[in-house]
Every structure is written in structure tokens, then in C-alpha cells.
Structure 1
């Protein structure tokens, strides 16, 4: 496959500590790894691991693990697919899924897989169109040129092209991906085993989860994809002290954010989100307790909310520690010695101060918190597509550009069930949040509710809409503005009614906050170059990164030592027979078939963050030795800094994963495929 890797020439972050860093593939610190571990990955090694890595467009990582398009990821990354394919009769979330033959593999309606094939530096081109501009003019010019670059690159639906921002605006690169939309489910364990220990064990260690799943990419001719690059499985599992690498797509870090940005997160954004998630968790729990069917259709979303709540609580606790912001202030004080920094920092702080009272309105109107509904989200996309698509590509909202259309169509035209009762309850929740946050007399609230009660309006919308039907969504998408204008669908009418004020608050944010942060990001990036030179790595941006570390435990503040490996025997010892510590029947029947000392889960020092879920853990030979699915509690502060003493990545151990497939699940076809290139 064609690719081009460009050395950046310089990196704009603070020097990294040993094993810290989510490194781009074109700037991986090979010499540092060699100095620390006696091994330097070759360019061939880097290319192979990169081309074997996969991004799941919904927010996770994965990897090719056979030449037949087999993809390994986490169960929680494709849980929505398992839910979509389930029914009251075949509850695959509860009992698991395994396709014994290729014909039994079921297509995941929402899953898109991306393989990074080329990276090109486009910094000069973007700096050329934004030079001398500021505010809204800067942002408009920047986004328009990004859209042009992406459109030039995406010459067919099989390609996805994204201009990504690195170093907070110090560098821009065009990432070209091979896009795969025919992705089918091969294997998934029981939900209870993938998430063994539930919320109680989430982000903790020791862990005993089997959070793994396998998909397969099929090509346009309806055959399993032939892949030139795939990761072989290691015959010998990773041991304590072994050097390991994680190749994946960390979603986002803020290690180079200003103190003002971090304080905004601590004081404004995170408290708002945490309160909203807490209330949503209570709402979902109450709804799910109403019947077994409600539980079946809600548990996946409830788990996601609980996970987000715990992760963001840990992030907020990290920002509340005085030492973290004290370190950031000291670094910022040093940076102020560079020209232009004082003005950029003051401008950023001023923009965020102005945004503080408006954040909730933005999230409720434009962010979707006030319209917590899959049906409404589709209605909004249809309404906006009708308005945006006739415009020149460079003038559209970014999510409606030519490069984004394949993903837009897949999202709108997927044949996946939408539980009507759950939609009604979630919409009611959103409408109530709108009214209690903005006030009953607010003009936007009046536009939404009029004289209706939230629950009555939600019920009428869900009962009256035809958007459950894929053919109706297809008709409205293809019919464009005329079809939308003629539609009497109540969900479409609501989306039209609230579109102008929602766009207005979005534009205000983009013009007065986003543009300021981006412009100042360039200034600060240049200052870091002058101050610290060429060592470092960019903040995570859901782009492919490689980290290195070792299999290693840690010591708790109370002096307790935590070992880096758990075993099958430990899982059985943790079994209580009651959720969330109840092992599934498959595991109870298989007790003794896997030696008790076989490693099940593993902890490593690799620097990861959300989005790395599903990343392969590979050894110095580039062989699979594990599958990342989590971090420990201290690692939740990794959004802002990396602490090598306590931050740990958590994964399913490769040896335990393969033996579990073979001896617990009897997944012989899958195991044979994995063992075929084991070495």
C-alpha cells in the first residue's frame, strides 16, 4: 500500500520522561528506546505495525490479526453492534456470539474501520491562508482550506481524509485512511465476562475481564479482505519486565493546554458534564429496572454512561490536586520569557471567561444534551444536509464536506433498531434539562416546548415520527431541501424549528472561543520550540500513536505492592455467583480446562488514554502479546500529565486470550486462524 512518512523536523512539547509519550509514527524516539531497552524499531517494523493498526471510527482502536481481514478489538468498542444484532430471542450481549462459518458473520451496521496509509505535512499551506488573520476570519479561512485539502485527497468513497491538528496548531497533517464499511462480527463474549466486576472494578487492578472481540473486514466483492499487513500472535506471552508497545488512537489529552484552559475544565466544563451524567445514570437505572426487555435495550448505554462518569470524575480529581496546576503554572511562567506569549495567554483567558456563562446553552442547544435522542440526531443531520450540501464544499459545516459524506450516509442509512420507549424517556430527560437550566421563560425553551409538558412532547414526537424507517431517511436525504420543506414529520419539524438558534450559539463559540484558542495555539507552539527545542510529542487527537513501556506493577500509597499479572485462578476466586462478580456458565463449565496460573489480565507502563481501547499490545518482534482495554485509577489523570510510578495501562493478556477462546468458548475456527501465523 502506498504511504509516505515525513519527519516533522521539530516537535513542540516539553521533553518527555522515560516511557512517557503518545508518539506519531513519523517521529517515534527509536534511539531513546534503544538506550533504555537495547532495541530500536526499524522503519520496516514501524511501517508493518502501523499498517496492521486500525481505527474504529466510533472512537476505538483495533488491529488486523490475520491475512483474511480479521480484526481484534475490545468487546466494549463494538458493544453497540452486538446490541444492534440482538433481539429478545437472540440476546447476543447476554450469551455472546461466535460465527462458526464465514457465512454466519453478521454485518455491524454502525462500524467503520480506517487504516492509515499516508501522512502529509500541510502546515505551510494552512499557515499561508491564515497569515495575518484573526478571530472569525482566521477560523473561516482555516476550515475552508482544510475542507479543500480533504476533498482533493478523498478521490473515492473508499478513502477517508482528515486534516489533523498537532501541537495545538503548531503543525497540521493530512491523514489518508483506507475506509472499510463492511465490517462483520465474528466473536464476542458475554457482556458480563467482558465487563466482569462491573462499575466496581472499572479502572481498577487487579482485573479479570475478557474484554475482547473479533470482527472481519469484507471487500467490495463480498469476500473477506486480503490484508498485506497483519500482526502475528506470539507463542510466548509477555512476562514482568518485558518491553511492550501499544499502537492505537488515543482520543485526546490536554498536556499542553494553558492554565486558563485547565481551570475552565476544572471549574466549568467538567462539573456540568459530571452532573448531567450522574442524573442520566439515575434515569437509565430507573428505566431499565422496569422490565427485562428494558434492561436488555438499556444496559449497553448505561454501561457507557457509568464508564464516562467514572473516567471524568478521575479527571476532575486530578485537576483538583494543587500540585498539578502548580507544575503547569511554573512551566507557563518559563514560557512567558518568549515573545508574544503573555498576550496569547491573556487572550485565551479572556475568551474562556466570556464563554463560562454560555457553555451550558451551547451543550444543550448544539451539543445535543437538550435533545438526547438518536431520532432527533438523525433529523438534525437530515435538515442540515439539505441546507449544507448545495453550498460550495469549502463553505459547508465541517461535518458535511465531501470528505465526510460516506460516513454521514452510513450513519443515516444504517439498519439498526432504535428502541422507541428508550427514545421517549431520553427525550423527556433532555427537555427537562433544557427547561430547568435555561428557565421556563427562555425563548429557546419556548420554541421547543411551547405549552407542552416535556413527557407529552417526547411521546408525541416518538409516536409520530417515521424516521425509524431507513427508507424514509433515504427519501429525505435524497430529496434534499424540497423533501425537508415538505415533510410534516414532527421530529423533522422540531429540528427545523431549533436549527437557527442552535447554529447561532455554535457560531458564537467558533468565532469568539475556538478561533482564539487555535490562533493562540500557534503562538504558544512556536514559543515551546524556542524554549525546549525538538524533543516531545503532540497531544493526543484520535490519530494513530505508538507508545512503549514495560510489563510492570506499582506500589500504592499505603505501601501495598500490585503485581502486573492476574490469572484464571484469580478470576474463579473472585466469582461470587452474583453480579457483577458472577462468571458466566461457559466459564464455570470450563473450570480447570485452562491452567490456573495462566495470565488473564496484564498491567504495563505504556502511556495511553481513552481511544486506546482495542489497541494491540505487541512485543519487540511486533507480535501480539495482549489487548489494551483500560487503565488504572491513577491513569485517569493522564489527560493532563503522565506519572510513571503509578499510571498503568490494562489489557487482556495474549496467552489468556487465546486459551480462553480455545478452551472456554470452543472458538476453533477463530483459534486456527490466529495460530496459523503464530510465531
Structure 2
């Protein structure tokens, strides 16, 4: 396929390939799947897979795999939990973890699981609230109605409700979730095995990562019942098999305007890449200081390296003239159709120009906004706690509809849960991160900037960071609980230096946020909605909306690809993992795997590549077959998939999963996790999957 045609058709009503599309469950193209693969998912089948799917509130996907609340996800999705449960004498991230009984399962301090139970179209209600409004007035009305709709839905602490924007505002849906706040760790391999191959192999294939972990949701101090779960397949997936991914892709920009994509290419991505590159350098230097520093930093460093590679891939995609040429062609075709329809043209008049003007304004204010409000100046866990405590106290005194989004009634339970969890904070690392951020704000805004003068005064960044981190008591959950319970009076009376600092910088941060929301966000939302409605008017609703970290279903098949004339096979094997072992990081197999050599037939599948259309957020998604049974666990994509933020290319875009057979073999023969294996097999034998 000519690369100059890669993006062609992305704004049209139907995807170019049967495997393209992150489809909402209420609009899944069953007929298209039937034409391509001879299989039509029934409504019962769709409900079965939907209710077996799970969202981890921190940004990943997962699935129920037994009726006793057992949840499967990626190791890298719950690294934070493993790190929180570790100590210098009990390094679970390095050694792995297995609970041989329910009593040994350990509660993850910050993990929440959500199960999507209901979807309701609220487009008419949202449109009525914003009718005739523009700019800040539009944004205010939209947020007010969103808060009201979510509050009416979230009737208890076990329910979470989110108004979801689809088709860039062309539609609005209310998603109702069942919340599980007691989530416990059951099994996790060693960090080195989950991330085998390290950064060199990241976003590459062949892969040999055992990036799998198991959790369990509990309720009333007992394992929660999960009648809707995805049983394990009796036979593993093989080349050519139809497979589905059910998960929560974080975000795509396939329907963004050309101006928005150019802004990403020229402004936002370069800024973020520089920030991450400098942070990686700081973390590497810090981690090299001692074994304990390495222990408390490796997870964050891995995340930063992953982000850098992913964003570089996105930037390279946007730097390809062919992709932007295709986008311009698509946009021109849409505008031509809009101009041919007088009613649609009138409703869309000026939309593209207003978006361009808003992005020009954002270009000038981006450093100011990113530093003051978005958190680049304060990459500190203790500061984030302080800011939340200050803002919770302030926002709770406002009417729900007038609060900042993250402090509305529907959002507060999750936030308060995290503030009150007794998770460890490493003061030395937090101080190093805050020093980095304060140094960056001075470099970015300039030493003479009034805000920088207000923040630093005559202090050096390192000295201020040391004073704040060493002086604060916010590491103690009891102190945080007292401030949360005491509300505004307690916060205003607090002499804690981090609380005082958060209060000191909050007015400027709020002002930067308001400038962004009124002059950029409001314009992008309103005009994005106008363009989306025009698109729906001239092309119809048969396409799929951009990803929004909401549950989506995608069909695909187990398939390799051709890399510059070299065929890449779809499956790797256990034998291949042992061949890749060098004894040196990042290609060093843990002792558990070396001792287990020979216990698993070398031809046993390990990882698998598929044509499924995924993006960040799909990590932890189950890979299921046409019987609705688990055949794998998504954990990555190849390098070609990085451009999937903007375009799906069926020839080379591949998702990467741990193979279902490989997961069972590793659990049983490498880790001796018989309790988990027996539970999976028992659930599989007893499961009744809806007829196809």
C-alpha cells in the first residue's frame, strides 16, 4: 500500500479494514465482522464480553476470569501496587509475588476496578444545556450539566458515573460503572520477566515478556462474586484465528483537524519529549546512587522510557508528509460536502478558523499552563496530595455544578480513597523530583518571571524542595485524614509547609487553568462538536468514535507482517525465550525460569502478534476468541502501532499479547501457582458462554 494513502478515508463513514476501529459496544459492526470472518457476535455474546471486562482507574484494562472476583491484567499496570507493597527487605517488584491462599492476598493501596454495567445516550440533554452558547459560556454550561447528570446517576459509593464525549461532541453517553475499591494482589512475576528485553524490545516484536498479573476484587472482606467472567479457552489461538480485544483505549486523534495535528507535531509533542528526556536523565542519575535508589525508581523510570518511545513514535508519524497530506485531503473532502449543504454549512461556519486561532493562543500560553496547573513544576507525590487537600476543602464549599471537574460529587470518592490509602512515599525521591520540577519552572518561565519569583523567592530549587519534603507531615495518612475531615478550616489553619506552599501557588494555577479553559478548551470543544455534527450529517454514524478511555471492542486475527522484505512470524515460543537469554540485563531470565528450563515444551507459544486496533490504555485487555474465551493478554504493540494514534495501517499495525497457553504454562511450571491455575481451569470447565 502506498504510504501516501495511509490516512485516506479516516474521516469517512467506514474504516478501510475490517480490523480497524475501536467500537463502542452499542454500535459494534457485527455485519462487517461476519463478512470478513464468517462470525456474527450476538447481543448475548456482546453482553458477556462487556461484563467480563474491567477498567483499572489508573489507566489500564483488565478482565474477570473466574466467578470469584479473579482479575487478569498486565504486570506493568499494577507495578505501582507492587512497589507500594514492597520494602527494602521485601522487594516484591524484583522477586515477584504469589498468594497461595486468600488470606495472603495483599490489598493494593491505590487500585480501583470498574465494571461497565449501563450506557445511556444523553446527547439531547447536553445539547439542550449548551444550545446557542459559545466560548466560556458553552464550557461552563457543559460542565454544569455534566456534573448534574453524573450526580443523579451516582447514587452510592459503589457506583461511578461518567458523561463520555463521543465523536468529538457529536454524541454524549452516560457510562455507569460498578466500583470495586478493595483490590488485592494475587500473583505477579519478577519485574525483569514482565519487562524482559527492556527498552530495546519495547514496542518491538518478536517479544518474550511475561507481562501478566492477577488481582482479586473483594467486597465486605470476602472475595467478590463475579458471575460475568471470561473463561479460559480450551485451545490456544493460532495463526489466522479471529480474536477480539475488549478494553479501554486511552485516546486517539483520528478525527482531529489538520490544525490540531500540526499543533501536536510542532508544539505539544516537542515540549513533552524534552520534558521526558530530561526527567529520564535525572532519574537515571538518581537511581545509580544506591541499590535502594534503584529499587524505588525503576518502575517510574520504566514508565518514563515507555512514554518517550511512544511519543517519539507519534511524532515521527506526524512528521511523515504522507500522513498529513492524507489528512488534508480528508478534511478538504469533508469541507466540500459541508459547503454543498446550506444548513450544515451555516451551522459550521468559522469552526475550522476558530480552532486554528485557539491553538495559536495555546501555543503562547502552553509553558505557563503546563508549569502552573498541569503539574510540570511539581512532579512530587507529596505536593499532589497537598494540592488535592487544598482544593477539596475549597471545592466542597461550592455548588457541585461549579466545582473543578475532578472534585464533583461523582469524582470525589475515587480521589478521597487515594488520599486515605496508606501507600509509602520515598522522601528522597520525592525531593529529587520536586527539585527537578522547580528547576524546570525557572528555566522555562525565566528567573525574572513574577510567578517564579513568588515560588522561589531567594531560595535555590534544591533548598526549597528539601525544606518542603523534609518538613511536611503528609506522609502520615492520619494527618491527611484529619485535614480532609476538617475541611477548609483545618487546611487554612495548617502550618504544614507543603500545604502552605500548595496554597501559595494555587491562585496562579487556577488562573492559568481558567485562561486555558476559557480561551482554548472551550473553543476546541465547541467547534469540535460543530465539525463532528457536520461530519455525522454528511457521512452518517456508521464509523467509530475516537478513543476516550472507555470500553471498546475490536476484531482482528493472529497474523505476522512483512518488515522490509523480512517476514515476522505471529508467534514466539518458550524455546525462543531461552535462546534470547544472555545472562545480562535486559536479556537476563530470572532464576525461576532458568530452573524451570525443560519443564515446558520449547514449542509452547509465548507471545503473539495480532491485527487488533489498539492504543495506550488497552494494556491489560483480554484477547478472546469467537467463543468468548481468553486466548491472550494484550500488553504492547509494535513500532508501527505507535502511529495508530492518528491512523490504522492494517499491513503493519500489530498488537502484542502474552499467549494464553504461555500464561498457564508459566503459572504452573515456572511459578508453581497451582491455586491460580486450578481456579482458571475450574472456571473454564463450569462456564456457560452465550451461543454465538
Q: After TM superposition, is the score higher than 0.5?
A: yes
- The residue aligned with 1:612 is 618
Q: Deviations over 1:40-74 (max 9, x none)?
A: 00000000100000000000000000000000000
Q: Is the aligned partner of 1:671 residue 2:671? A: no
**2:606 maps to which of 573, 581, 600:** 600
Deviations, residues 585-639 of structure 1 (Å, cap 9, x unaligned): 0000000100000000000000000000000000000000000000000000000
Say if 2:447 is the partner of 1:440.
yes
Counterparts of 2:39 and 2:496 in 1: how far apart (Å)? 62
Q: How does 1:231-630 map to 2 (within 5 A)?
A: 231-337=230-336, 338=338, 339-340=345-346, 341=348, 343-556=350-563, 558-630=564-636
Q: Report what 2:664 is aligned to.
A: 658
- CA deviations over 1:473-523 (Å, ceiling 9, x no partner): 011111111111111111011100110110011001100111111111121
Instruction: State the SS of the aligned residue for 1:15.
Output: coil
What's the counterpart of residue 7 of structure 1? none
What secondary structure is seen at the aligned counterpart in 2 of 1:635?
Answer: helix
- 1:642 aligns to 2:643 (yes or no): no
TM-score (norm 1): 0.97
Is the CA contact (8 Å cut-off) linking 1:13 and 1:537 kept in structure 2? no
- Residues 15-34 of structure 1 aligned to structure 2 (within 5 Å): 15-17=14-16, 18-34=18-34
Residue 545 of structure 1 and its aligned partner are, at CA, apart by 0.1
> What is the alpha-carbon distance in structure 2 between the residues aligned to residue 405 and residue 367 of structure 1?
19
Following superposition, the deviation at residue 79 of structure 1 comes to 0.3
> Per the alignment, in what secondary structure is the counterpart of residue 352 of structure 2?
helix
Q: In the alignment, what sits opposite 2:191?
A: 191
Structure 1 residue 335: Cα displacement: 1.3
Give the structure 1 partner of residue 342 of structure 2: none
SS of residue paired to 2:237: coil
SS at structure 2 position matched to 1:476: helix
**Which runs of 4 or more aligned residues in structure 1 lie more than 3 Å from their structure 2 counterparts after TM superposition?**
11-14
Does the 8 Å CA contact 1:288/1:299 hold for their aligned counterparts?
Answer: yes
Aligned-partner SS, 2:164: strand
Partner SS state of residue 222, structure 2:
coil
Any stretches of 5+ residues in structure 2 without a counterpart?
A: 1-9, 339-344, 686-692
Bigger shift: residues 514-523 or 450-459: 514-523
SS at match of 1:156: coil
CA separation in 1, counterparts of 2:385 and 2:466?
Answer: 17
Residue by residue, what CA displacement relative to the aligned partner does 1:357-404 show, whole Å, maximum 9, x if unpaired?
Answer: 211111111010001100000100011111100111111111111111
Residue deviations 1:513-553, cap 9 Å, x none?
11111111121112212332232100000000000000000
Contact 2:169 2:532 in 1 (8 A): yes
Tell me if structure 1 keeps the 8 A contact 2:146–2:163. yes
Alpha-carbon distance, 1:642 to partner = 0.2
Contact 1:12-1:538 within 8 A present in 2 as well: no
The Cα of 1:176 is off from its aligned counterpart by 0.2
Matched, 1:44 2:44: yes
Deviation at 1:405, TM superposition (A): 1.4
Number of equivalent positions: 667
Separation of aligned partners in 1, 2:13 and 2:485: 50
* Cα separation, 2, equivalents of 1:197 and 1:364: 34
- 1:196-242 Cα distance to aligned partner (Å, 9 max, x none): 000000000000000000000001x2110111101110111000000
* CA shift digits 1:132-167 (9 cap, x unpaired): 000000000000000000000000000000001000
Q: Does 1:92 align with 2:92?
A: yes
Q: 1:384 to 1:66 in 2, by over 3 A?
A: same
Distance 1:119 1:677 in 2: 28
Provide, for residues 567-598 of structure 1, a one-character-per-residue CA deviation record: whole Å limited to 9, x for no partner.
00000000000000000000000001000000
Task: For 1:484 and 1:40, locate their aligned partners in 2 and report how far apart those are by CA, in whole Å.
Answer: 57
> Does the CA contact (< 8 Å) of 1:12 and 1:533 recur in 2?
no
1:414 is displaced (CA, Å) by 1.0
Q: 2:371 & 2:264 partners in 1: Cα distance? A: 17
- Aligned equivalents of 2:284 and 2:325: distance in 1? 39
What residue in structure 2 maps to residue 142 of structure 1?
142
Say which SS state the counterpart of residue 658 (structure 2) adopts: strand
Q: Is the 8 A contact 1:297 1:419 kept in 2?
A: yes
Secondary structure at the aligned position of 2:443 is classed as helix
Contact (CA 8 Å) 1:564, 1:603: kept in 2 or not? Answer: yes
1:349, distance to aligned residue in structure 2 (A): 0.4
Q: Could you tell me how far apart the structure 2 residues matched to 1:475 and 1:294 are? A: 31
Deviates more, 1:351-360 or 1:163-172: 351-360
User: Residue 206 of structure 1: SS of its match in structure 2?
Assistant: coil
What is the CA–CA distance in structure 2 between the aligned matches of 1:460 and 1:549, rounded to whole Å? 54
Q: Which region of structure 1 is more displaced relative to structure 2, 378-387 or 338-347?
A: 338-347
Alignment RMSD (CA, Å): 1.0
Deviation at 1:677, TM superposition (A): 2.5
CA distance in 2, matches of 1:636, 1:14: 23
2-structure distance, mates of 1:448, 1:476: 23
Q: Distance in 1 between matches of 2:140 and 2:540?
A: 31
Give how far 1:342 is off. 5.5
* Alpha-carbon distance in 1 for matches of 2:11, 2:105: 45
Secondary structure of 1:587's partner?
A: helix
Question: Aligned partners of 2:645 and 2:117: how far apart in 1?
Answer: 27
